Amino acid sequence: MDDLQPLLDGQLRYYRARAPEYDEVYAERSFRSLTGLVDDLPVGGDVLELACGTGQWTVRLARAGRSRSLTAVDGAPEMLGIARGRLEAEGLTATFEEADLFTWRPSRRYDTVFFAFWLSHVPPARFAAFWAMLADAVAGGGRVVFVDTDAGERASERAAPGGRDTVLRRLRDGSEHEVVKLFHDAAGLAAELAKLGWTAQVDPTGEGFIKGVATLTDRSARD
Ligand SMILES: C[S@@+](CC[C@H](N)C(=O)[O-])C[C@H]1O[C@@H](n2cnc3c(N)ncnc32)[C@H](O)[C@@H]1O
């Protein structure tokens, strides 16, 4: 256990507690049609979704034509329960797995690895290890596709004291939680990924989000 572990454990506890109210964010104007982004992203083949949450993106990924198979992983059983129900309601299927993404290792490779609003919760000290794990998850010719918060949105959150790339979030019951939140800017993120052997195209969507597509060009760079 390193000194980040309590923070990461707290982050997962926060999302477990937030699961019943998580979908409220998707009712906000900027989020309402956001998952439609998937239709313009290179998603296909055997797809792995990390940190699937309540399945807002999972349903998009599962719809006909988007994927041959779909596996969705999250650390919160409460999130997975909602995601399962969301897919069932639409007659869609996916394989769900409960796992801690900071220790999880893929047992096979996928054509597409997708995650939305997860990268911003990976602390800098775990960033390289996370992308090394992705290198083992993505098939030759495959890609990592992601969506996240744009750097310009920093002011929309309350920074936690201590300057650890964390913010304070409040749940409906009034409880406060410290979570990791990195506000990656598109160009900086692409440059960081290049150092790890990835070629990434990262672009702001213009509505407070970024979208990225990364392919592994140099497996040796991560060693
Ligand atoms: C910001 S939400 C994103 C959910 C979904 N991708 C979306 O965009 O709506 C972050 C997700 O990460 C999950 N999570 C947090 N810590 C985790 C961990 N250590 N391992 C796996 N999942 C984790 C939470 O349960 C939550 O579903």
pLDDT in tens, 18-68: 999 999 999 988 888 999 999 999 999 999 999 999 999 999 999 977 899
Q: Are 132 and 13 in contact (CB under 8 A)?
A: no
Task: Specify the ligand 1 atom closest to the Cα of 147.
Answer: 8
| pLDDT of amino acid 1 | 54
Tell me which residues have their CB closer than 6 angstroms to ligand 1.
8, 11-12, 15, 51-53, 56-57, 74-76, 79, 100-102, 116-118, 121
Residue identifier of the C-alpha nearest atom 4 of ligand 1: 53
Walk me through the domains of the chain, giving residue ranges and CATH numbers.
5-27+42-222 (3.40.50.150)
| pLDDT of amino acid 218 | 76
| pLDDT of amino acid 66 | 80
| pLDDT of amino acid 68 | 94
Q: Which of 70, 121, 182 to probe ligand 1 with, by most ligand atoms within 8 A of CB?
A: 121
| pLDDT of amino acid 29 | 82
Q: Which of 14, 96, 101, 205 to probe ligand 1 with, by most ligand atoms within 8 A of CB?
A: 101
Residue identifier of the C-alpha nearest atom 26 of ligand 1: 53
From the number of C-beta atoms within 10 Å of its C-beta (0-12, 13-18, 19+), residue 9 rates as: middle
| pLDDT of amino acid 188 | 97
**pTM, two decimal places:** 0.96
CA-CA distances (angstroms) from residue 80 to 2, 5, 39?
27, 22, 23
| pLDDT of amino acid 106 | 97
| pLDDT of amino acid 53 | 98
Residues of the chain with pLDDT under 50: 223
